[in-house]
Amino acid sequence: MARLFWRCQLSCTIIDKALAIDNSGAPVPQIGQQIRLIPATQPVFVKIGGVLREILVPTRPITIAGDGTWTTVGPWPSECDPTTALWDLLMPDGTRWRGAFPEGLAGPFTVSQLKTSYGWILQSTATNPVLPALTATASLEINQSGASDVKIAALSTGGNILEYLRIQPQDPASAGDTAWHEFVSGSVNPADSARKDFVMLRGWNVNNGGGSFDGVNAATWDAYEQYYAPSGTVRQVERHIAFATAASVQYRPFSTIFQYAPSLQLSTLMYQDVVTLGPRDQASFWFQIYDAGGIGQSGQGALHFAPGSFIRKMVNNQYLCYGLNAAANGFIAMIRNNANDQVEIDGVGSAGTLVNGALQLGSNALGTATAANVGSFKYLAGGGGVADKLYMSLKAAAGTYSWVQIVTG
C-alpha cells in the first residue's frame, strides 16, 4: 500500500533524512525509497479523533522527499492501548528501530535522538541493501511548426528507481511541471525484508513516491504493485487509482487487491481519503466488495460499508434490491420506499416474509386510519396502570377506515 500519513494530529513528530554515500563521500538522498512506521505491539489501539481505533498491519510507506527528508508522526504512550505499545521504524535497507514515542514531547526528533535519549533500540540490522540504480537512456523530441510541443525521455533518477518515460507538453500557459511520468521503484516489505515491493506509477505530474512532482499542480496516476507482503504469509498484488494535491496529500478512491497466498481472495475498495486517514481501519473506506468465502466459493461475496456510509436511491417507488428465486428463473423485488413513503418489503413474485427472530413494534400514536395505511399494525404502550394495545387499520363495509383493537395486554 502506498504512503503513510495520519489524519489526526498525533502528538510526536519525527523528521530525518534517508541518505546513502557515493564513491566521493557525498550524501545521496534515497529518493523513492520508503520507510514504514509499524506497530510492534499487536493489537494496538490509538486515539484517532478521540476514539480508540485498532491500527492494523499493513501500514502505508512514508515517502522520502527529493533531498532525502522524511516525516511521520506517532502517538504518545498515553494515546495508546496498551500504554506499553512499541513501534517499529523499518528503514529502506531493512534496518528496524523499535521504541515508544516520548510521552509529553512533541519533537521533532531524529532517529539518532530517539536512540540516544529515548531508549529506541536496533531490532535488526540491514538485511536488504538498497539495490543499485536502474539505468536507461533515450530521448525523442517531436516538433510541430518549429516549436517543441512534446518531449519524450527515458532516464534514471538514481537509487532503486527508474523513470523510464517522461512526456513534457510545452505549454507556455501552464505553471510548473505538467508532464506525464512513468516510474518503477521498490520499497521494503513489512513481512518479507528479503524481497522488494516494486511499484509502477504512471500519470500526470506524479513523482516516484506517489505525490505531486512539481509541488505546484495536482497529480493523478495509476499504481501497480508487483509483490506486497503485509503480514505473516499474506502475499498480494494490487492496483490503485490515486490523486494528490500540490502538497502531495494523497487520495486513493479506488483499489483492487488480489491476495494469492495463503489463500485466494479478491477485494475492491472505494476509499474516501486513504492517505490522511492513515493505517487501514474501518473508517478508511466508503465500501469494500470482497469474496468472503475465497475465490471459487460461489455466493460468498460480501459488501462492507464504513461507519457513516449509506446507500441512497435517488428515485422514489423503485426497488432497492432483488433476489434470485428458488427456481433460479427470475428475481424477486425485495425492498423499496413506495409512493406513500412507506418502507415496503416483498414485491412481485414473493411468497411472503419470514421472520425468524422476534418482530418488535415501537409504540406510536395511532393517527388517522386511511387507505394509505390499511393493513398496518400499530402498538400503543399504556401508561401506569394501563394495558398495552395492538391495533390494525381496516376498512369497513361502508368504505370507512378505522384502527381496530386486536388484543390488549
Query: What are the sequence ranges of the domains in the chain?
Result: 12-124, 138-305, 311-359, 362-409
Q: What is the tens place of the pLDDT at every residue in 197-252?
A: 888 999 998 887 788 888 888 999 999 999 999 888 999 999 989 888 888 877 87
Q: For 129-133, 184-188, 316-320, which range has the lowest pLDDT when averaged over its residues?
A: 129-133
Q: What's the mean pLDDT in 142-166?
A: 52
- By CB atoms closer than 10 A (0-12, 13-18, 19+), residue 89 is buried
> Which option is the CATH number for 12-124: 2.40.30, 3.30.70, 1.20.1300, 2.60.40?
2.60.40
Provide the Cα torsion 343, 349, 352, 353; round to 10°: -50
Q: What is the tens place of the pLDDT at every residue in 21-46?
A: 777 778 878 776 778 888 888 888 88
pLDDT above 60: residue 132: no
Q: What does the pLDDT read at residue 249? A: 78
Phi, psi of 95 (to 5 degrees): -60, 140
- Cβ atoms 161, 134 nearer than 8 A: yes
Which of 306, 310, 228, 248 lies closest to 53, judged by CA? 306
Q: What is the tens place of the pLDDT at every residue in 286-333?
A: 556 655 555 444 455 666 666 666 677 788 888 888 888 888 888 888
**CA atoms of 330 and 323, how far apart (whole Å):** 8
CB atoms within 10 A of CB 310: 8
Phi, psi of 77 (to 5 degrees): -55, -35
Strand partners, 290: 267, 302
- Cβ atoms 228, 2 nearer than 8 A: no
Which of 387, 406, 404, 386 lies closest to 395, judged by CA? 404
**Which three three-digit cell numbers place residue 320?**
432497492
Arithmetic mean of pLDDT over the chain: 77
pLDDT above 90: residue 148: no
Claim: this prediction has a pTM higher than 0.85? no
pLDDT above 50: residue 1: no
Which of 155, 130, 122, 129 lies closest to 140, judged by CA? 155
Q: What does the pLDDT read at residue 185? A: 81
Alpha-carbon separation of residue 34 from 31, 61, 159, 254, 306 (angstroms): 8, 6, 12, 22, 29
**Which three three-digit cell numbers place residue 222?**
495509476
